[in-house]
Structure 1
Amino acid sequence: MIDETVRQIQGDEIQSPSIGAVKAAEALRELSTREYHTVEEFMRSLVSNSRALRQANQTHAILYTTQQRIIAEVNELDPTTVDEAKARLNSVIEDTVTRVEQSKRRAAERAAELVDDGDTLLVHEHSSTVMATLDRVLESGKRLTLYVAEARPRYLGRKTARRFAGRDGVDTTLVVDGAVGYYLSEADRVLVGMNCLVEDTVYNTVGTYPIAATAASEAVPVTVVGSAAKFIGSGFDFDNEFGPSPEVLLEPAEGFNVGNPEYDGTPTRLLETVVTEDSVIEF
């Protein structure tokens, strides 16, 4: 299960960082079924497998923070037997998964309060926390007009558009990325997720920065929603990834390069708010 989860995270089969963090935490349950002669042997295995999961994608901050927490909280108990260490690991995994799910739900509830009945929103890609926010807005009986940027080259916006197609209370339009400026003039708010927040920069799926910059020009407020676990201090270096050229071009790129970064950085000065399960931070 651990090796398969590493492969899925490395292959970007799990696109939501929060979902990836949950899967990585649950994958460590496999260690409780293995045989270990000493606590030290068990802990070495836990640390090495956790490292493999963290390194599967070094852009997912919540993967980093949750795996660090698991190691720290198992260590904190200072188990004296292997069975005690295994029991502690399973308990910490359960708590970690609950925290991630609850933080997503609470952040979505807070963000939904910023949306008024009849608002027009522009969203980007397919953040699971943004999806939860939109679900919460619609469940409260509010009506929305939703513009969804396609989020090339993986077209994650198509998943969002399909998710809300035909839903009561929402009129959904998928727009090409280059038309964001055209539709922003009609928007009351931009709502996006985040991979992580490092100092004064939000890293998210590429395309977020130009949307935020254009929104600032049009005086449209931008709200970022995500777990507080995505706030990163020291010890984490955001290392951008670049997709293969076939994602952009079907034919070979002959005589030129293809720039295909997966993330970009948005300065917090372009944002109105960052919403987490703990607070609404204004800029």
Structure 2
Amino acid sequence: MLLNETAERIRTMEIRGAGRIARAAVEALAGYADTLDATDLAAFRSGMQEAAETLLATRPTAVSLPNAVHAVMAPLSAADSLPEARDAVRRRADAFVTSSLHAVERIADIGARHISDGDTVLTHCNSEAALACILEAHRQGKDLTVYATEVRPRNQGHLTIRALDDAGIRTSFIIDSAVRSIMNRITLVVVGADAITVNGAVVNKIGTAQIALAAHEARTNVVVAAETYKFAPRTVLGELIEIEERSPAEVLPEEIARTLKHVTVRNPAFDVTPAEYVDLIVTEKGAIPPELAYTIIREYLGWNIEDFQRQLVLDHRNQD
């Protein structure tokens, strides 16, 4: 089944990157809605809710996922018939995918304005939005040099350097722990985000916080490129974003780990960069300082206090 296959591919990081995860999820929901064997509207809503929960359980830190699922599922409560509900899911999914793709293009255009001719840019992980900014600045004829990190343990940096090389951009590939030693050569840091909180803190691939700290120390600006659906609405209520911890086998082979009786392997996939280490957040709606993150949640994501209250009730029921 497409839904379960998509969920597994997201969970195992075969599908990676917050934007790609979000688009894959809504496409899977739309496909599931088209084929769900439901005899009435209530059964359809129930089946779709189960499908949504299957997807939401795959990557707890990727806020793009619940925002995307929310965007597709929201019209179900107002539908008056089964055909109307099926059509609403398909239309919302198509609209989300189109909007997401255009968002990256818009971010690239805005972000490139903040990259100067002659910059030496450091980027981390394989952010679609961050990479788009760099590629667009290069396309505009700006002379750039890029430093790209390895991104252990899943080596997403390999994807980044391939894209940079294909574009003809001079790139240095470095191990993650070399960041501080080369920071004085860097004039701008450009990274993506998996989530942004109401106070402007940025949740991104593990290692981002250390990069931002080194940049802060060196007085190097940090620009975060992120679609609006990566902002975390429930942080308005004080909720913390769960940091995903992945399998120890990604870090150390199981046959070696089994021989170490007193060693625990920890593998957090993300870290949190405080807002004071971020200079600018570039979204498809414009560039904002981190302290204005709440305006994105309030004005563009379509969540309201009733949505939060309903979700809190559901959460408490699930915990019971």
**TM-score range with shorter-chain normalisation?**
over 0.9
Number of paired residues? 280
Q: Deviations over 1:30-71 (max 9, x none)?
A: 221233211111111111111211122111101101111211
Matched with 1:183 is 182
Moved more, 263-272 or 4-13: 4-13
Instruction: Report the Cα offset of residue 167 of structure 1.
Output: 3.1
User: For 2:233 and 2:218, how far apart are their aligned partners in 1?
Assistant: 32
Q: Deviations over 1:221-262 (max 9, x none)?
A: 000010111111227652112222332234226122222210
Instruction: Report the Cα offset of residue 275 of structure 1.
Output: 0.8
Cα root mean square deviation, aligned: 1.6
Structure with greater helix percent = 2
TM-score by length of 2: 0.83
Matched with 1:34 is 36
User: For 1:48 and 1:132, how far apart are their aligned partners in 2?
Assistant: 35
Moved more, 247-256 or 192-201: 247-256
Instruction: Report the Cα offset of residue 84 of structure 1.
Output: 2.1
User: For 1:87 and 1:63, how far apart are their aligned partners in 2?
Assistant: 21
Helix, strand or coil for the counterpart of 1:60? coil
Of residues 251, 254, 264, the one that matches 1:248 is 251
Matched with 1:45 is 47
Matched with 1:61 is 63
Residue 73 (structure 1) aligned with residue 72 (structure 2): no
Matched with 2:241 is 238
Contact kept? 1:215, 1:221, Cα under 8 Å: yes
Matched with 1:167 is 167
Matched with 2:215 is 215
**What are the ranges of 5 or more consecutive residues in structure 2 without an aligned counterpart?**
291-320
User: For 1:37 and 1:218, how far apart are their aligned partners in 2?
Assistant: 63
Matched with 2:24 is 23
Distance 1:55 1:243, change over 3 A: closer
Helix, strand or coil for the counterpart of 1:238? coil
The one-letter amino acid paired with 2:198 is E
Q: Deviations over 1:73-102 (max 9, x none)?
A: 2333x232x222212211111111112112
**What are the ranges of 5 or more consecutive residues in structure 1 without an aligned counterpart?**
none
Percent identity of equivalent pairs = 27
